[in-house]
């Protein structure tokens, strides 16, 4: 059976990246990302929800993210979902999901994530219309 684990998120950093190093001197950066979703409810009211996601990057990527990103900065990240488990100091077993970042892109800092995502959706819709028009050509 085939498996696929790919995450793509666009949002704002909830805190400044925190850089640390493993015992073998590999850079590790942890940061939080907030993504927003807006929709119209069945009653016609505008609704919004925010999803907060913990992210981690390694190596040169981690160093670059720490150097250039700050709290509030809009960023697009690609990575994979990882599941961490540990035993807390009180002996309870704990777990959480986190995104391990494999690539990122800076986005214009003056543009909010929702405005950018609307532009992406609009561009995608335009390409679907173009594809439909081209599919109607009989030759």
pLDDT tens, position by position, 62-95: 999 999 999 999 999 999 999 999 999 999 999 9
Tokens standing for residue 101: 């970042």
Please state which architecture CATH assigns to domain 7-109: Beta Barrel (2.40)
Q: Are 18 and 30 in contact (CB under 8 A)?
A: yes
Give tens-digit pLDDT for 7-65: 999 999 999 999 999 999 999 999 999 999 999 988 989 999 999 999 999 999 999 99
82: nearest Cα among 16, 117, 30, 14? 30
Integer-rounded Cα radius of gyration of the chain: 19
61: nearest Cα among 18, 7, 11, 103? 103
Q: Are 35 and 74 in contact (CB under 8 A)?
A: no
Question: What's the N-to-C CA distance of the chain in angstroms?
Answer: 39
For residue 74, what are the β-bridge partners? 12
Give tens-digit pLDDT for 99-130: 999 999 989 866 454 555 554 454 444 444 44
Measure CA 102 to chain center. 11
Domain range list for the chain: 7-109
């Amino acid at each position: 059976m085939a498996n696929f684990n790919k995450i793509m998120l666009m949002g704002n950093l909830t805190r400044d990246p925190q850089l640390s190093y493993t015992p073998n001197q590999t850079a590790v950066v942890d940061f939080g990302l907030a993504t927003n979703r807006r929709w119209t409810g069945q009653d016609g009211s505008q609704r919004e929800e925010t999803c907060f996601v913990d992210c981690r990057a390694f190596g040169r990527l981690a160093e670059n993210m720490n150097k250039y990103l700050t709290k509030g900065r809009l960023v697009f990240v690609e990575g994979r979902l990882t599941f961490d488990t540990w035993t807390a100091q009180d002996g309870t077993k704990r777990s959480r999901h986190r995104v391990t970042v494999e690539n990122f892109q800076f986005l214009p800092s003056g543009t909010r994530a929702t405005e950018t995502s609307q532009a992406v959706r609009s561009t995608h819709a335009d390409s679907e219309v173009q594809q439909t028009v081209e599919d109607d050509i009989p030759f």
